[in-house]
Amino acid sequence: MKRKKKGNLFKQDRARIFKDKRGDPYQQKQKLPDPTLCPNCGAVFTKGRWSWESIEFVENEKLCPACQRIEDGYPAGFVEVEGDFYQTHREEILHLFRNLEEQETQEHPMERIMRITEEDGKTVITTTGMHLPRMIGDALKNSYQGDLEISYDAESIARVHWVR
Ligand SMILES: [Zn+2]
């Protein structure tokens, strides 16, 4: 795993991180009743994981970690993409992100895109899971080459930067 300091690239987001909490508040270490339904997205926690499994009768409801992150505005991953090549292939590349998300979310309901925003000529994608950013980064590199950097900080937040 390559770690690289990115200066103050994500300074603003870093400041939002809950410094006073130990570890990742979204890692559901506590036992949820099996099954538990997320009333927001319909994901079901059963057999130790969240899935889209349909369950006849669910008595317990709790917001899943992905919906909780979206509600709190607290991403697990950031992808920044920029560059002249990106700008001229923007639509195509944004489409790639959505396709990747769709595939990944089917298997892993906690891996979703939260928001896609434009900041200073860069596109910033935030995600609810820490694996999706890496998948997006790898897909960019495989499809378009360019320069890719992936790092994970102490809070297990994935940070991907791609430029071409
Ligand atoms: Zn949910």
pLDDT digits (tens, 9 = 90+) for 12-60: 444 444 444 445 667 655 678 999 999 999 999 999 999 999 888 888 9
How far, in Å, is the centroid of ligand 1 from the Cα of 34?
15
User: For residue 2, what pLDDT is reported?
Assistant: 46
User: For residue 31, what pLDDT is reported?
Assistant: 78
| Helix 132-144 and helix 90-107, axial crossing angle in degrees, nearest 10 | 140
How far, in Å, is the centroid of ligand 1 from the Cα of 109?
8
> Where does 36-157 show beta strands of DSSP type E?
36-37, 44-46, 49-51, 60-61, 77-82, 113-119, 122-127, 147-152
H or E stretch covering 34: none
User: For residue 57, what pLDDT is reported?
Assistant: 87
User: For residue 149, what pLDDT is reported?
Assistant: 98
How far, in Å, is the centroid of ligand 1 from the Cα of 66?
6
Query: Cα 7 to the chain's mean position, in Å?
Result: 21
Give the domain ranges of the chain: 36-70, 75-163
User: For residue 9, what pLDDT is reported?
Assistant: 45
**Residue 100 per-residue DSSP state:** H
User: For residue 19, what pLDDT is reported?
Assistant: 44
How far, in Å, is the centroid of ligand 1 from the Cα of 80?
25
How far, in Å, is the centroid of ligand 1 from the Cα of 161?
27
Question: Rounded to whole angstroms, what are the CA distances from 36 to 2, 47, 53, 67, 129?
Answer: 37, 10, 11, 14, 20
Structure tokens belonging to residue 114 = 């939260």
H or E stretch covering 98: helix 90-107
CB atoms within 10 A of CB 151: 16
Residue stretches of the chain with pLDDT short of 70: 1-25, 27-30
Question: Rounded to whole angstroms, what are the CA distances from 22 to 25, 73, 153, 155?
Answer: 8, 18, 14, 9
How far, in Å, is the centroid of ligand 1 from the Cα of 64?
4
User: For residue 161, what pLDDT is reported?
Assistant: 98
How far, in Å, is the centroid of ligand 1 from the Cα of 60?
13
Question: What is the residue type of 13?
Answer: D
Question: What is the residue type of 27?
Answer: Q
Q: Are 49 and 128 in contact (CB under 8 A)?
A: no
